[in-house]
Amino acid sequence: MEGTAVLGRLNWQLGEVVATRPETPRTKSITLDVPGWTGHRPGQHVDLRLTSEDGYHAERSYSIASPPEDRSRVTLTVERIDTGEVSPYLTDELHEGDQLELRGPIGGYFVWEASMGGPLFLVAGGSGIVPLMAMIRHRAAAGPSVATRLLYSSRSLGEIIYRDELDRLTQSSPGLEVAHTLTRETPPGWAGYRRRVDADMLRDVAWPPDQNPLTYICGPTPFVEGAATILAGLGYGPQRIKTERFGPTG
Amino acid sequence: MQGRMGRENKLDGNASAGTLQAIFPFEMTEVMVTCAGCGASNVIGETAAYVSGMGTIVRCPSCDRALIRIARLEGRSYLDLRGSRVLRIHADG
Ligand SMILES: Cc1cc2nc3c(=O)[nH]c(=O)nc-3n(C[C@H](O)[C@H](O)[C@H](O)COP(=O)(O)OP(=O)(O)OC[C@H]3O[C@@H](n4cnc5c(N)ncnc54)[C@H](O)[C@@H]3O)c2cc1C
Ligand SMILES: [Zn+2]
């Protein structure tokens, strides 16, 4: 949103872990209570900073999964990258009552608010669902009239993050459609797609270009680039496509 | 460290926003940068960013020139803006 007021510089501050919750075998949601938190917009992220005993810092970005309607609480969802420096600590070693250094909320470009309208097209690969989930939760709370489609690619059924909540929201929140694709393993009787996101799938699921949808794509870097390139080829204007690359895929 | 800065580690300008907003008192992803090389103007959210333990580089999506480089060393930030001709900031609400 252009013309936003001065926000001030970001400083590191402490949040306290008030809840953790496994979402899938490899992902965990972490809810933080951050004193003085002034709220956030759906799609924004925070930076976390871990400091080792010898003073060495590691910083990583994590999207906010919770909607702004949650007020002073911030929930992140972290996928464990087995060889990673930071994510295994967050998923395995962080517990209720622990303190965590963070700064945020960050960003304004990869943000969707109900007032921006739609139709909305969301494309997620793996943990790329996290900032899009903040948008979906916000939409359910504040803008359920915006027609929304989510195309969500996961490796297997068990790796779909927020699966039950997405099922519930498609029932309770009219105008929200969710299409899943599973790339590695499909259970018997699976009715969704069973391959990587490709042009045919995007043509099926995306709003037609003449409806001028707002599109947000998030996930591993190669996933985001693939989907964005295909959509551009299908005639979607780049000004209406926003991307958030999370980094390489393991 | 080569791998961390390789092209496979390309992120969006959004990934540099926390580091930038620790220096500038504004939301930075909607700040417009004009490339000193090719003249293209993009908001920082549309640029490419490379982030590593050594620092952050924001690159022009049209010609790949380094628009902004930020390094942090011993509590100081080093900001190199040679690649940016203009930063357009909406700062007055
Ligand atoms: C704006 C932004 C928002 C993000 N939001 C989230 C989020 O909501 N949830 C989340 O889980 N992550 C998110 N990420 C990714 C996160 O910042 C870290 O990159 C990720 O957790 C890996 O950190 P690490 O220290 O565990 O791994 P590192 O020590 O950085 O990397 C270890 C190895 O894993 C590889 N690797 C790095 N990142 C990934 C990846 N994403 N997938 C597979 N392999 C990888 C590296 O190339 C390296 O070989 C986000 C990234 C950005 C830029
Ligand atoms: Zn350029």
Ligand 1 contact via A79 beta carbon (within 6 Å): yes
Name which residue sits closest to atom 30 of ligand 1, judged by CA: A84
Name the residue type at position A12: W
| pLDDT tens sequence across A86-107 | 999 999 999 999 999 999 999 9
Looking at the CA of B66, which ligand is closest? 2
Residue spans of alpha helices (H) in chain A: 87-88, 129-142, 163-172, 199-205, 221-233
Q: Are B16 and B33 in contact (CB under 8 A)?
A: no
Give the count of Cβ contacts less than 8 A between chain A and B. 85
The arithmetic mean of pLDDT across residues A227-249, rounded, is 93
Residue B6 confidence (pLDDT): 59
Residue A56 confidence (pLDDT): 86
Residue B82 confidence (pLDDT): 97
Residue B93 confidence (pLDDT): 44
Q: Is B18 on the interface with A (CB under 8 A)?
A: yes
Chain B: residue nearest A9 by CA? B25
Q: Is B74 on the interface with A (CB under 8 A)?
A: no
Cβ-based neighbour number of residue B23 at 10 Å: 13
Residue A72 confidence (pLDDT): 82
Residue A93 confidence (pLDDT): 96
Ligand 1 contact via A80 beta carbon (within 6 Å): no
| pLDDT tens sequence across A173-224 | 889 999 999 999 999 999 999 999 999 999 999 999 999 999 999 999 999 9
**Distance from Cα A246 to the centre of ligand 1, integer Å:** 6
**Distance from Cα A241 to the centre of ligand 2, integer Å:** 20
ipTM of this predicted structure: 0.91
What are chain A's domains?
2-106 (2.40.30.10), 114-246 (3.40.50.80)
Question: What is the rounded distance in angstroms from the CA atom of residue A68 to the CA atom of residue A64?
Answer: 9
Ligand 1 contact via A243 beta carbon (within 6 Å): no
**Distance from Cα B57 to the centre of ligand 2, integer Å:** 14
Element (H, E) at A9: none
Arithmetic mean of pLDDT over chain A:
94
| pTM for this entry | 0.95
Contact A7 B13 (CB under 8 A): no
Please say if the pLDDT value at position B87 is more than 70: yes
Please say if the pLDDT value at position B7 is more than 70: no
Residue B92 confidence (pLDDT): 60
Contact A6 B10 (CB under 8 A): no
Atom of ligand 1 nearest to the CA of A81: 26
Residues contacting B20, CB < 8 A, separation 6+: B28, B44, B68, B70
Choosing from A29, A56, A60 the residue with most ligand 1 atoms within 8 A of its CB, the one to mutate for a pocket test is: A60
Contact A5 B93 (CB under 8 A): yes
The arithmetic mean of pLDDT across residues B40-62, rounded, is 95
Residue A160 confidence (pLDDT): 98
Would you place residue B4 in the very low, low, confident or very high pLDDT band (cuts 50, 70, 90)?
very low
Contact B14 A107 (CB under 8 A): yes
Percent of chain A past pLDDT 90, that is, above it, reads 88
Looking at the CA of A49, which ligand is closest? 1
Backbone angles phi, psi at A238, to 5 degrees: -60, -25
Residue A249 confidence (pLDDT): 72
Quote the crossing angle between the two packed helices A163-172 and A129-142, to the nearest 10°: 30
| pLDDT tens sequence across A2-49 | 444 447 899 999 999 999 999 999 999 999 999 989 899 999 999 999
